[in-house]
């Protein structure tokens, strides 16, 4: 199932589709967070924040860009928030 169909299914209440999106991108998001924070535990926290925000904002995904691009935009904002807290 491609990302767009996973998003539609997740919005319809399919938890498996949400898990599929998570599993598909969690390693990429963690690597980005680790490279940005340079700390394993902070990268884990950032990764959790990204997927929490993704789940809450999934209804705003319009498909104008790829899902991966949309998700990395959320990741970038989470990293910025991380540095603001420090």
Q: By percentage, how much of the chain surpasses pLDDT 70?
A: 100
- The pLDDT of 51-55, averaged and rounded, is 97
What pLDDT is stored for residue 74 in this prediction?
A: 98
Half-sphere exposure of 67 (CA within 13 A, CB side): 20
Distances (CA, A) of 65 to 42, 43, 84: 28, 25, 27
What pLDDT is stored for residue 73 in this prediction?
A: 97
What pLDDT is stored for residue 83 in this prediction?
A: 92
Q: pLDDT tens digit string along 57-86?
A: 999 999 899 999 999 999 999 999 999 987
Domains, the chain, ordered by start:
22-85 (1.10.1740.10)
Alpha helix segments (H runs only) across the chain = 3-11, 15-37, 40-57, 67-85
- pTM equals 0.92
């Amino acid at each position: 199932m491609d990302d767009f169909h996973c998003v539609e299914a997740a919005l319809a209440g399919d938890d498996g589709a949400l898990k599929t999106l998570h599993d598909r991108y969690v390693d990429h998001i963690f690597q980005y967070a680790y490279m940005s924070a340079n700390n394993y535990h902070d990268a884990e926290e950032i990764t959790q924040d990204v997927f929490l925000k993704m789940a809450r904002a999934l209804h705003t995904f319009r498909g104008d860009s790829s899902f991966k691009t949309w998700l990395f935009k959320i990741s970038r904002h989470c990293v910025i928030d991380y540095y603001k807290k420090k």
